[in-house]
Structure 1
Amino acid sequence: MSLTMDKSGEGPEEDGVSLRSDGKTSPNGSVREASGLLRSFRRSFRRTPDKSPASARSKGSKVTSREEPAGEEEFFLSPPSPSPSSSSLVSSPLKTIGGVFNKKEEDSPDVVPHKHKPLSRSKTDPNMSKLGESFIKKGASIRRSLRFGSKKENEKTNRPEVLLTTSEGLVEKMEEEVEEELEEMEEVYNLPDIPHTPLSVMQINKLIEMEVLEEAHLNLLALRLEFQKEQDRFDQDCPMELSKKEKDLNLLYMDLRTKIGTIVRDSNSLPARNKPLLVFVARIIQEEEKRSAEPGGLPDSWMEAWREAVCEGVQVKVNSVHLEHRDKNPSWLAVHLGLLGNAIVEDLQNVKRDLRWSYPPSFRVFSSYVRSYHRVVRQHLKKLEPQVTDLKDLFALLDWILNKYKSEKIMMSLSLQPDMTEENADLQLEENFLQQLKDKYCCKVKEDMKITLERIIELENETFWRDRKEPEKEETFLISPFPMDIWTKVKGTVQNSRKLESEVEQKVISSCIEELKSFPRRFESQFRSQCGALQPRPLWTQYQITYINSFAALLDHMDGYQDSCPNEVEGFRREVKWLIVRLMQSLEDQFKEDIKVYLRRMMTRKWLTNDEDFNHLRSRTQKLSQDCDLMRPPQAQDFASQLHHHVAKEYIGHLMRSNYSCRNRKHEKAAAKIRRQWSELSDLFEEMKSTQEWLHPAGDDLSNIIGQKNKTDIKNHLQRLVQHYPDFSRKHLVALLYFRGLQRGHEHQVILQRLAVLKKETGVADGNRSHVLFGDMQVTTNTDCLSSLPSSCLSLLRDS
């Protein structure tokens, strides 16, 4: 074989270079021969085979071919066709390394010239291997001759020493050039000539098995044409031969479709192996879609079968994503979904970068893969859903569906742009699946909240109740840590749900607070069960104050969700307030029980001469003041106000029970003592920030009446008492006069008449119900019947 070339590869011939059969070159032409051969070699790389099964003149090629002078190409003959007929197609030209080399068929009486591009096979052709080895050996021979040539020879020719790259480097350079020239495969193509006589069924089947798809399909078309002609000839009659041929056609077409489905399915997993075949796959599908109405083919759509194959390939990809068992890894689902997202992006990048160039635009390859991922991932998630039971896993699944899948992390990845711009990035789930998943998440939130609250009660018992440990203080107030624990739990859950969707956030808030509604009663029940035996010890009081403060603080935290779910918050508020009322009532009852014995001896002869009982009362009230200092406002004020009113009513109430009557001028000493003691009690409750300031004047008003030396002057001091306490009535005045020592007589009646006039002038019969002190006081009725008679009746009795 000889090659003739000028210096530029285009001008007239200057030197001749002859290659010997042993691969050596003459000393005078080694560099020039190598240079020309390399130019031819590179140009042969650029002339990549057409992707279309059409002839070399068709425009369905993915890589633009460049015309070269005929003298610069090297030709190879293909082996004879397996067809028994001399007019049948010869077998395809052998593929060279990477599917790069082309060859032209020589005119021969034994070979029918082909006008379409060579067939591509995934199997390694032995002839191709020999060809590649031969070419590499010749290249090696040239390199040896260049490298070991004498320096004098190089100087003599005045040419620099040329270093040739290895065949691998040339292939890499070729691949870069080819990739730069990638173009979209054209929609229109020219079908190669269909053989006049098809191969046998066994031969066609063998071609399908060997993935020689173009030749197999052309012979199938020839067989199908024969069948159609015979069918027209026999018309309605269906001889056995025709029936057998139809059956053979169906079986071959099924085999071809199965093979195509396998190639398409594996095309993105094995791109190097199956990519060249996809060009023939696309043209076969196009041709069969055109001939779908003709008899002899398959009834189902080939395009639809292609989409199903794409979907199967996606299914294989998704199934291959690693999935650990939930017992081995607590984060099994989050890890799996992360790997799944990466696999989707990588696969679609492959489609965008390489795979789509093997198909015409009508196939919409990228869109088909995107839709397949939507479909397969939807089925995959539905299969995973029953295994997802933990709250964190439900959150991970919802977050992946609602946020990550359609974000820049997966479907809207920058590496998939701009192809993804026109695609729908949302995951199309089955109807009600997403809603069921959200409901399941909210139910799990509620269950998780219930478990948390139960654990809080257990922790309170383990930390304080069981060992009778004193509660902790925050600043100067007693409080337990559980309100902050609950609030942190609710806040974290709500914030996580906010990342998912506003609708989910709303339901999560509702679920959390709904579960909280039953917490105050459960807590109180356990508290009284575990600590009831402590009553009335000081530790019992401390615990109660602690939980008054704690539940009030918890309610303040939950009030922040008033706008989101007002009904649930109102229900929780009602439960907390009733618990606080019960705890405060328990403290009040305990205090009332403590001071009951001392109040019982007020306004007696012993009280007038001894301060022991009052000192105990004052001591207990001072202890109450210390307890109020441990209680947060406004509960401390409410508590102090309630007990202020109780102590005032009970202290004065003993004046109304006619236990003692101050005679022989003892009323002055009693009035002074009432004034002093009442002032001390008022000061104590004022320190506790009691809101019952209206009680303060009662001591002075009563002391003024009791301490008057002249009985006639008593009526002049009634006005202030009636103004301050409109509920002061006639029976209360009778009892007060009895304590003063004035039980009957003219002055007694005058004082009672004065009260009646004052009550009439004020226009309030029973007093203002907002400030009730005397109205619900127990009054002992005087059994002395003469005391209730008018003075005129008494005078008549005396005269008689």
Structure 2
Amino acid sequence: MLKMMTFQGLAGQRPMPGAPDFPGSPQKLRSTSEVESEASMSETSSEDLVPPLEAEVAQERDEEDASKKKKPKGLASMFSIFTKGKKKKGQPSSAEPEDKRESRPGLGGPLPTVEELKADLDCGRLEAAEPLMALERELQAMAAAGGASEEELVQRQSKVEALYVLLRNQVLSLLRRPLEVPPERLRQALAVLAEQEREDRRALATGSEPSILVATRPRHWLQRWRQGVAQEAEERLSQLATYADGLSEAERKFLYMGRTMKEDLEAVVERLKPLFPAEFGVVAAYAESYHRYIAAQLAALAQFELCDRDTYMLLLWVQKLYPNDIINSPKLAGELQEIKLGSLLPPKQIRLLEATFLSNEVASVKELMARALELESQHWVQDVAPQRLNGHCHSELAIDIIQIISQSQAKAEKITPDLGTQMKHMLLVELAAFLRSYQRAFDEFLERCKQLTNYRANVMANINNCLSFRTFVEQKWQTSQDLLAPLGELKSRGFDTLLQSLFWDLKPLFKKFTQTRWAASAQTLEEIVSTVEKRLPEFWELQDCFREELMELVHLHLVKEYIVRLSKRRLVLKTAEQQQQLARQVLANANLIQHFCTQSGSPATWLHQALPKLAEIIRLQDPSAIKIEVATYATWYPDFSKGHLSAILAIKGNLSSSEVKSIRSILDVNTGPHESFKSLFSLIKVG
């Protein structure tokens, strides 16, 4: 849906139904007022009575009421005065050939008669506007001179005003569908409208007309034109185009309105603005009319309890699509930014919609993540084998969760960056809760499903999940140790499960160190290494980084168990030669462990000094030298305690108790931990 939320190039849509004033649009019904005006003109009869002029002027000034009520036949009656008293012979008629009509004298000669002007206007000749204005001024001069009777002046003014009604309808009819009108014809109509505006301003500046005449200016034709634009915008935007399936009614409606407004305003800017006088503000007139209508539609929609989808659509429309794709679009930005249309909804309403959106989205995310975990847990219990991807056990759970969160985050950011920031904090809370639920579900699986065929494969698949989660979290939230804690626990429990049987198999082999009094330590260690090597393929379906971590755990186990056997207090060597021989055996074993584990992928360089340094303590004979070595050792392994030291010194049977005590005291000095400190001796119990 998000990809369709644009106003250009919507896939699968049919051409929009348009208005007559835009190319390719179907013919639109004319307004009631236009139809009635033409009907009344056709009903002109020489027997009709002239209506009071005051009623006609009142009708002119009350445009809104006139558009809602049916017009009286006064206009038809008014035009009946054109036939009263005309000559039977020799008088031109509206059907007179055009070549004869065009030979009439212009303003330099006698003014055309009312009947001639009506005939011109009936034929759409807007050139009649100039003599009509001259006729109006002549009437005003006659009234000011006082030579004519009141009845004659009223009758003459009625004729003039009837002609103005006809001229106005002609002009506004052309301006109602300006893109269908030839440019020259449009310029002519605009010139008439502009001249009428100037005459309105002149009338206001010079004062009222002679009291015997009814005041007819200002006529407000420009205002009528703007009202027509607003009506046209409403008719244009109230239509509904057919879009591809999958959109709600509100989505279809507002996508149509957005695209229509954009295309229409571009046409106004490109084709109408060069023709219209600048003071008409043609772009502003259309833009403000479209804006008002859309704002009213949005305000009405916002009053209802919207579904999640429509709430998002409404916010996206108001905060992103409308200001970016219309107001600031390349072809319109320069025009519309000056007009300053403002927001489609008030800030308070927007905040309420944003709060609703965030609440809806978080609830949806929570539900979708819970559903994904439930489905994954069912696969574990049902002993469904995990997928294999690039030789590794693979689960879709991490991908599903990341996609759910990312899509929700993207939706919020698509509306506004600030809303995206708010959503990010809320999603962090929900992801942390999910990871805790994930850890609990995995722990339950480890306890209950040990006998299943695909148990170990599913364990590895879930450990591999941790990589995707960890990468996503670190990229999105950076400092996230608390968030990653459940993943660390899940991975640790998974490793313990995978290594449990291997470590169990190694236990009797390590016992041989003490059973044979270290006589065959090299052979015993080779047997241990061989056992581990045979079992390593079991872990190849882990991701490389986790296989390295697991190998580090194996490395740690070998070193730890070797120290445990060395600290059993069963080996006491009295002579320096015996101690040096044991030290050489320990060093050789340490090199074998280090070489094997490093070759197998262990990154645990921090373990490299654990056994060689102990071998050095066993080899040294000078208490002072032993102290220095112990002090150095404690910096590498801060959890090396006096108890551990005592177990090692017990091997050196030639040390006195006072020397042992002196050497032990060196651990009372806090030398500070080495920067690569990890637990080793805290895993070893002595005593």
Both structures adopt the same fold (TM-score exceeding 0.5): yes
> How has the CA–CA distance of structure 1 residues 455 and 534 changed in structure 2, closer, same or farther, with 3 Å as cutoff?
same
Partners of 1:463 and 1:571 lie apart in 2 by 28
* Equivalent residue for 1:683, pick from 584, 587, 595: 595
* Equivalent residue for 1:442, pick from 354, 358, 377: 358
Q: Is the 8 A contact 1:445 1:512 kept in 2?
A: no
User: C-alpha displacement at 1:521, in angstroms?
Assistant: 1.9
Secondary structure of 1:76's aligned partner: helix
Q: Is the 8 A contact 2:291 2:344 kept in 1?
A: yes
Q: Is the 8 A contact 2:510 2:561 kept in 1?
A: yes
User: C-alpha displacement at 1:603, in angstroms?
Assistant: 0.9
Q: Is the 8 A contact 1:445 1:511 kept in 2?
A: no
The corresponding residue for 1:322 is 240
* Equivalent residue for 2:314, pick from 380, 394, 397: 397
Matching residue's letter, 1:549? N
Partners of 2:490 and 2:563 lie apart in 1 by 31
Partners of 1:376 and 1:614 lie apart in 2 by 86
The corresponding residue for 2:343 is 427
Partners of 2:374 and 2:589 lie apart in 1 by 47
Higher relative contact order (CA 8 A, sep 6+): 2
Matching residue's letter, 1:442? L
> How has the CA–CA distance of structure 1 residues 773 and 395 changed in structure 2, closer, same or farther, with 3 Å as cutoff?
closer
Secondary structure of 2:465's aligned partner: helix
Q: Is the 8 A contact 1:649 1:777 kept in 2?
A: yes
Partners of 2:518 and 2:565 lie apart in 1 by 11
Q: Is the 8 A contact 1:310 1:372 kept in 2?
A: no
User: C-alpha displacement at 1:693, in angstroms?
Assistant: 0.9
> How has the CA–CA distance of structure 1 residues 374 and 411 changed in structure 2, closer, same or farther, with 3 Å as cutoff?
farther
Is 1:535 aligned to 2:535, yes or no? no
The corresponding residue for 2:160 is 117
> How has the CA–CA distance of structure 1 residues 509 and 598 changed in structure 2, closer, same or farther, with 3 Å as cutoff?
same
**Aligned residue runs from structure 1 range 345-356, under 5 A:** none
Partners of 1:405 and 1:772 lie apart in 2 by 59
* Equivalent residue for 2:219, pick from 272, 276, 283: 283
Q: Is the 8 A contact 1:640 1:688 kept in 2?
A: yes
Matching residue's letter, 2:471? D
The corresponding residue for 1:511 is 426
> How has the CA–CA distance of structure 1 residues 606 and 764 changed in structure 2, closer, same or farther, with 3 Å as cutoff?
closer
The corresponding residue for 2:188 is 178
RMSD over aligned CA atoms reads 5.9
Partners of 1:406 and 1:775 lie apart in 2 by 63
**Aligned residue runs from structure 1 range 619-634, under 5 A:** 619-622=530-533, 625-626=536-537, 631-632=542-543
Secondary structure of 1:67's aligned partner: coil
**Aligned residue runs from structure 1 range 131-530, under 5 A:** 175=185, 178-179=188-189, 181-184=191-194, 185-186=197-198, 187-188=200-201, 190=203, 218=214, 283=219, 313=231, 316-317=234-235, 320-322=238-240, 329-344=246-261, 370-371=287-288, 373-385=290-302, 386=304, 388-391=306-309, 393-407=310-324, 409=326, 414=331, 420=336, 422-458=338-374, 460-461=376-377, 466-474=382-390, 478-495=393-410, 497-530=412-445
> How has the CA–CA distance of structure 1 residues 502 and 668 changed in structure 2, closer, same or farther, with 3 Å as cutoff?
closer
Q: Is the 8 A contact 1:349 1:416 kept in 2?
A: no
User: C-alpha displacement at 1:466, in angstroms?
Assistant: 3.4
User: C-alpha displacement at 1:179, in angstroms?
Assistant: 3.9
Partners of 1:349 and 1:756 lie apart in 2 by 94
Query: What are the ranges of 5 or more consecutive residues in structure 2 without an aligned counterpart?
Result: 1-87, 143-147, 168-180, 635-639
Partners of 2:122 and 2:225 lie apart in 1 by 31
> How has the CA–CA distance of structure 1 residues 610 and 75 changed in structure 2, closer, same or farther, with 3 Å as cutoff?
closer
Alpha-carbon displacement from aligned partner over 1:559-610 (angstroms, at most 9, x marks no partner): 23347xx6xx554334434444444455566654554454455412598689
Alpha-carbon displacement from aligned partner over 1:195-219 (angstroms, at most 9, x marks no partner): 78xxxxxxxxxxxxxxxxxxxxx5x
Q: Is the 8 A contact 2:564 2:684 kept in 1?
A: yes
Partners of 2:537 and 2:249 lie apart in 1 by 55
Is 1:651 aligned to 2:562, yes or no? yes
Secondary structure of 2:219's aligned partner: helix
Partners of 1:735 and 1:345 lie apart in 2 by 85
Partners of 2:655 and 2:268 lie apart in 1 by 112
Matching residue's letter, 1:69? G
Query: What are the ranges of 5 or more consecutive residues in structure 1 without an aligned counterpart?
Result: 1-19, 24-33, 48-65, 79-91, 125-170, 197-217, 222-279, 287-302, 706-712, 743-747, 781-800
Bigger-Rg structure (1/2): 1
Secondary structure of 2:426's aligned partner: helix
Q: How many equivalent residue pairs?
A: 545
Partners of 1:554 and 1:613 lie apart in 2 by 41
Q: Is the 8 A contact 1:411 1:425 kept in 2?
A: no
Secondary structure of 1:70's aligned partner: coil
What is the percentage of aligned positions where both structures have the same residue? 13
> How has the CA–CA distance of structure 1 residues 661 and 469 changed in structure 2, closer, same or farther, with 3 Å as cutoff?
same
Partners of 1:173 and 1:657 lie apart in 2 by 107
Matching residue's letter, 2:559? A
Q: Is the 8 A contact 1:625 1:684 kept in 2?
A: no
> How has the CA–CA distance of structure 1 residues 596 and 415 changed in structure 2, closer, same or farther, with 3 Å as cutoff?
closer
**Aligned residue runs from structure 1 range 42-81, under 5 A:** 42=102, 67=107, 69-70=109-110, 76=115
User: C-alpha displacement at 1:337, in angstroms?
Assistant: 1.5
Alpha-carbon displacement from aligned partner over 1:590-644 (angstroms, at most 9, x marks no partner): 6545544544554125986899986774355336655666555765555444443
Alpha-carbon displacement from aligned partner over 1:21-48 (angstroms, at most 9, x marks no partner): 999xxxxxxxxxx9x954554588xx9x
Q: Is the 8 A contact 2:522 2:589 kept in 1?
A: no
> How has the CA–CA distance of structure 1 residues 677 and 534 changed in structure 2, closer, same or farther, with 3 Å as cutoff?
farther
Secondary structure of 1:618's aligned partner: helix
Is 1:556 aligned to 2:471, yes or no? yes
User: C-alpha displacement at 1:341, in angstroms?
Assistant: 2.7
User: C-alpha displacement at 1:336, in angstroms?
Assistant: 1.5
User: C-alpha displacement at 1:308, in angstroms?
Assistant: 12
